[in-house]
Structure 1
Amino acid sequence: MALLFFTLTFQLLLLILRVSSESPLTTGGDVKNNFLESAKNPEVFDWMVRIRRKLHENPELGFEEFETSKLIRSELDLLGVKYRYPVAITGVIGYIGTGEPPFVALRADMDALLIQEAVEWEHKSKIPGKMHACGHDGHVTMLLGAAKMLQEHRHELQGTVVLIFQPAEEGLGGAKKMVEEGALKNVEAIFGIHLSNRIPFGKAATRAGPILAGAGSFEAVITGKGGHAAIPQHTIDPVIAASSIVLSLQQLVSREADPLDSNVVTVSMVQGGNALNVIPDSVTIGGTLRAFTGFTQLQQRIKEVITKQATVHRCNASVNLTPQGIEPYPPTVNNVDLYKQFKSVVRDLLGQEAVEEAAQVMGSEDFSFFAEAIPGHFTLLGMQDETKSYAMPHSPHFRINEDALPYGAAIHASMAVQYLKEKALKGSASATSFHDEL
């Protein structure tokens, strides 16, 4: 009997070890050997490249991504992934896994820019004056790549992965609209990736806390009373008022901001008058503001300075903090726990030197709306190649290093799996089924 018990126990132990070693969704080398190698598989890689190039040839602006959305839905249909559409006009939200908690989201932005592409190649933009000049075509592709791998292992997921294909990142606040329309319902955490030509290939740059600044715009019309420049006493000169306002706005940074904090207030537009001997009735000024902390306060101080300086010069001023419908973006802040988890997973996936400490950047991202609503983590994925020159984003010469696509797909998939695994171990606080949403 003792021998039989020992034999059965030994066989059971071997079975457990075998199952553990064969599981494709465990951490350690298995993640590296499965998600990264799967994404680098020539068949999968070529599939991603085809999708990315098709998206690049057909760029669409914010809230106009109808063909982009159609392509995404077509690929999800082929993969057998369920989704919601439309969300925020053109957005798509896919679901992979049990349909039960915990829920973790992966996000990709879809929109292009009003830029005429200057790169001459076979897959140049076919739409005059529009271009994917910020890598969003690559972001969509990487998320679809992750979807393909996650769907293949959907029965092993310990929860639900939510795929967020978001419209209108470039200035129109598509993320905010998606949040308002319930994109994050029951979601406990969200991860985002942005391709970067400043980070070495095969590495990711991130940091805990604020990583990207909050950004906003302002436009003001200063109104006085125009007249002949030779008799200024009969006028109320808005040019003088505008000049005083521009100088006073600079003091918000030099005299009101903590010198250890990074702030920017820039007046970049001044319009008024069209004759050398006529004082105009009004002058329009506009610009941008950036801050990691105290962003809302800075907005209000800009408004106060403009209106009160105008009053000093006997003028009136109206201030618009969302000119041309451009939404102010809050700072992008990385959750500390998600940051630690990200570092652990990516170092295991790509190597111990694969994660760099990112410098704070005064640029902005509307991923901030997601990370403001729930814990979020945003990272820059390197595509730098010293043998090639890659222009900065928003340049007509911008290009993507397509060899980075498998890395982004593998990171997305690995982060989702690891998050669900850890949440399952701890027990999700949520108990709501999401089957009705699918």
Structure 2
Amino acid sequence: MSREQLVAETLQVRLTAIRRQLHEQPELSHEEFETTASIKRWLEEAGIRVIDYGLKTGVIAEVGGTRGDGGPIVAVRADIDALPIQEETGLPFASKVPGKMHACGHDFHTASIIGTALLLKEREAELAGTVRFLFQPAEEKAKGAQQLIRAGALAGVDAVFGLHNKPDLPVGTIGIKGGPLMAAADGFVVEVEGRGSHAAVPEAGLDPIVTAAHMITALQSIVSRNVSALDSAVISVTRLNAGTAWNIISDKAVFDGTLRTFGDEVRSVVRERFEQVVHGVAAAFATKAAVKWIEGPPAVRNDQKWAEAAIPIAEKLGYKVIAPIPSPAGEDFAFYLKETEGLFVFLGTDGPQEWHHPAFDLDESALPVAASFFAALADEALHKLSAQSRQGG
């Protein structure tokens, strides 16, 4: 067995053990205390320096910066939180916590990027700068990225990189593209206020259910008549609550759902038209309406130059690169890309179910794929940024 094969096999075993330990003990957003402690321990055991940013959960660590000349800083991010889902995989290392599960693969992300840190630590003296690792809490609540930004985790960072596993792609495949990759994800709650009455005499009241029904129908025309066929958006009403009995017209109806868009202009136009439709229909039925927006992350929009830089790196490692189809799911990695340039990629894991499914799982042979790709990407990014700095000087 060659040294390279031995290193790859050792890495596979180590990262698989880490991923499975995380999988057995999932923790929800803002509750990742044991996960945080475990990540710190694994990193410190490898001699990787952990930086204190005053976080209650989450870990920030660094490798490199040993040349004494400062140099550029690139960040690599993994999310660490789980979901409130009862696991149904039947795996021997299934969640031991009732009602909680790593159903989005954040355990895979964490183990992969720990692998990246281990690989870069081995050649730390050769790095042309510093690699900062962001093990971020609360991605599922879309709060963790902003929390780390406020703590100063992006201070001095020249580029940031991240990943999401993709169950519908085979292991060894990496989805890389510039521009939009994941959607802005907003939630909405609409409250319609009418006037209750006996169901037998509806003319004595103002029916909020009929009003809400007309609103929901009208909202479906916003995308088809306000968004170009070359762009995209989704409005989904997912819940409607009203009424208390079969013979009473309620005085209130509430419905909520989500809006997904890939561009800031489309996002703004659709939200404006949404408000106009809701209030216009309410006025037509002599009712009142209020719209509450649940602000989600903006769209993940990759920098073209980093997409172009990453493709040959992946190919040199022997991985297949595809131009991925953008996902309408949301990702708070988008907040980092509002602060600095960077790249978010899809990494094939050949799983049986999509994200957030109770039977979600993935092929663990993808762990060293992710670790080696991000180690090579971070290393090359430091060299590019360092060269640019010398030329600029």
- Place the TM-score, normalised by the shorter chain, in its bin: over 0.9
Match of 1:364 in 2: 330
- 1:350 is aligned to 2:318: yes
User: Post-superposition shift, 1:304?
Assistant: 3.1
Counterpart pick for 1:63 among 30, 38, 42: 30
Which secondary structure state, in structure 1, belongs to the residue aligned with residue 50 of structure 2? strand
User: Post-superposition shift, 1:410?
Assistant: 0.3
Unaligned runs of at least 5 residues, structure 2: none
**Percent identity of equivalent pairs:** 35
Match of 1:399 in 2: 361
- 1:422 is aligned to 2:384: yes
Contact 2:53 2:153 in 1 (8 A): no
For 2:391 and 2:299, how far apart are their aligned partners in 1?
27
Counterpart pick for 1:44 among 11, 24, 30: 11
Contact 1:62 1:172 in 2 (8 A): no
Counterpart pick for 1:96 among 42, 48, 63: 63
Match of 1:379 in 2: 345
Contact 2:182 2:326 in 1 (8 A): yes
For 2:212 and 2:390, how far apart are their aligned partners in 1?
56
Equivalent runs, 1:235-250 vs 2, <5 Å: 235-250=205-220
For 1:273 and 1:51, how far apart are their aligned partners in 2?
50
Deviations 1:127-158, CA, capped at 9 Å, x for gaps: 00100011100100011011111112111111
For 2:283 and 2:55, how far apart are their aligned partners in 1?
41
For 1:381 and 1:89, how far apart are their aligned partners in 2?
29
For 1:392 and 1:363, how far apart are their aligned partners in 2?
11
User: Post-superposition shift, 1:87?
Assistant: 5.4
Deviates more, 1:273-282 or 1:308-317: 308-317
Deviations 1:94-132, CA, capped at 9 Å, x for gaps: 111117230001010101111111111221100001000
Match of 1:314 in 2: 286
User: Post-superposition shift, 1:309?
Assistant: 2.1
Match of 2:157 in 1: 187
For 1:328 and 1:428, how far apart are their aligned partners in 2?
39
Q: Which has the larger radius of gyration?
A: 1
With normalisation by structure 2, the TM-score equals 0.94
Contact 1:391 1:397 in 2 (8 A): yes
Match of 1:330 in 2: 298
Match of 1:12 in 2: none
Taking a change above 3 Å as real, the CA distance of residues 364 and 281 of structure 1, as seen in their structure-2 partners, is: same
Equivalent runs, 1:2-401 vs 2, <5 Å: 37=5, 40=8, 42-85=9-52, 89-98=56-65, 100-293=70-263, 294-322=266-294, 327-351=295-319, 354-384=320-350, 390-401=352-363
User: Post-superposition shift, 1:169?
Assistant: 1.1
For 1:126 and 1:216, how far apart are their aligned partners in 2?
32
AA in 2 matched with 1:376: G
For 1:268 and 1:45, how far apart are their aligned partners in 2?
41
With normalisation by structure 1, the TM-score equals 0.84
Contact 1:88 1:174 in 2 (8 A): no
Match of 1:410 in 2: 372
Which secondary structure state, in structure 1, belongs to the residue aligned with residue 101 of structure 2? coil
Match of 1:11 in 2: none
Deviations 1:176-222, CA, capped at 9 Å, x for gaps: 22222222111011111111121122110121111112111101111
User: Post-superposition shift, 1:378?
Assistant: 0.9
Which secondary structure state, in structure 1, belongs to the residue aligned with residue 102 of structure 2? coil
Contact 2:53 2:152 in 1 (8 A): no
